[in-house]
Amino acid sequence: MQKTLKRRNFLKTVATGSLGLGVMSSAHSFNILSQYPVQDKVRVAIMGVNGRGSQHLQAFAKVPNAEISYLCDVDSRAVTNGLALAEKSGVKNKPQGISDFRRALDDKNVDAVSIALPDHWHTPMALMALQAGKHVYVEKPGSHNPAEGELLSKATSEYGKIVQMGNQRRSWPRVQEAIAELHGGVIGNAYYARAWYTNSRQTIGYGNEVPIPEWLDFELWQGPAPRAAYKDNLIHYNWHWFWNWGTGEIVNNGVHFLDLARWGLNVNYAKKAYSSGGRYHFKDDWQTPDTQIASFDFEDNKSILWEGRSCNRRGINDMGSGVSFHGENGTLELLDNSYKIYDNANKLIKSAEPTSNTVVDQRGAGFDMDIAHFTNFTNAISKGEKQISPYQEIVKSVMLCHLGNISYRTGRALEIDQSSGRILNDKKAMKLWGREYEKSWEPKL
């Protein structure tokens, strides 16, 4: 991409700006694709092309001012499949398929990276990308622990690049409309939000130590995480349920809904957090809770409750996942890209149907709606467009999820510094604020 010095300085100014909690203007709505002509191409390297990463590929293929330069994955099968998917998705240039992401970071022609890897890689790779002069789109949660969230937030300012997280619901039109209704006082003072996620995940069993498959670079897959033996029930998804690599359901999917709850209530850092639960449904290698409750108290008499059930799919209010807001004059229920508003007599006063016929699956993706989120990222880079989901704002929502896990693991309530989100007067809890790293892989500014 051609950049002048003047433009570079302008983008640095934009990148360090902050996003208020209000809803974006119509210029940032679902129809974002039709509002901007194709200009400079933002050349993107996609890090991880299994699962959600394949959706990154398909999304960037439809973003007018994006060009996919690299597909990077430690699974050689994923690289092969990704290249085929790129061709099928209409990618006109031929991306390079590589196993070691560092080759893409060394390429001066790459403008941005899109990270869809396990949680333990989010912050370390984002920092390496920023240090290589790249902009960063990172999937939720963007950090494996609170210390990493703080580090990446600081790096976002220091390196003057665009960093956007994949909490794509902030770009969905009915979500924006619902939050505007809340902030406009449709249910009066909204003081309580309830967020939940349910699924019917099956047992992962007890893994066996087996030889590492020839298609996998397991050493690079582990990267910054302390080394552990390869087992046959780990890759490509079950790492979510092991503390060494994952963060459990509250961070895996809870971040979407806790972010909406915090946004709707217009709150920042909690003053108190408490969580309980356990691995109740199956006996196996799964370490994180499959059933978890977390509550968060904020100033101005507001609170949020999270309920996660990984192995029992019965929803709440006939919704498998969602957020409900409760206030002086009624309730607003937000389900994916639709919402309903009730008064205090339980009378339905408004129902807003989805603006898209996309079925949102339990991985959290609403594919055609997600494209707006990716396009906002590339437009923020090439046109100075205001970010919908800047990392320094969204990290406050991720912090709630991490605090829920720390409370669960310590077995007690946490008092929180409302100016920083840090835990007060609890050395045991603060030991879980960060993590140990494999030697020479420690993330640094």
Whichever domain contains 348, its CATH number is: 3.30.360.10
Q: Which residues pair with 414 in a beta bridge?
A: 273
CATH number at residue 126: 3.40.50.720
pLDDT recorded at residue 336: 86
119 and 236 assigned to the same domain: no
- Residue pair 167/256 in contact (Cβ under 8 Å)? The answer is yes
Report residue 26's pLDDT band, with 50, 70 and 90 as the boundaries: very low
Tens digits of residue pLDDT in 226-276 = 999 999 999 999 999 999 999 999 999 999 999 999 999 999 999 999 999
Report residue 6's pLDDT band, with 50, 70 and 90 as the boundaries: very low
d(CA 159, CA 152): 10
Amino acid at the residue 359: V
Helix (H) or strand (E) holding 356: none
DSSP character at residue 181 = H
373 and 415 assigned to the same domain: no
The structure's pTM equals 0.88
Lowest pLDDT segment from 43-47, 152-156, 310-314, 316-320: 316-320
Tens digits of residue pLDDT in 214-230 = 999 999 999 999 999 99
Give percent above pLDDT 70 in the chain: 88
Q: Structurally, how many domains does the chain consist of?
A: 2
Please state, in angstroms and as integers, the Cα–Cα distance from residue 122 to each residue in 116, 119, 285, 299, 384, following that order: 8, 5, 24, 31, 25
pLDDT at 198 over 80: yes
**CA-CA-CA-CA torsion for 84, 88, 89, 90, nearest 10 degrees?**
110
186 and 148 assigned to the same domain: no
d(CA 390, CA 386): 9
* Structural domain includes residue 144: yes
Would you call 367 helix, strand, or coil by DSSP?
helix
283 and 406 assigned to the same domain: yes
Tens digits of residue pLDDT in 47-93 = 999 989 999 999 999 999 999 999 999 999 999 999 999 999 999 89
Q: Which domain holds residue 85?
A: 5-169+367-387
277 and 313 assigned to the same domain: yes
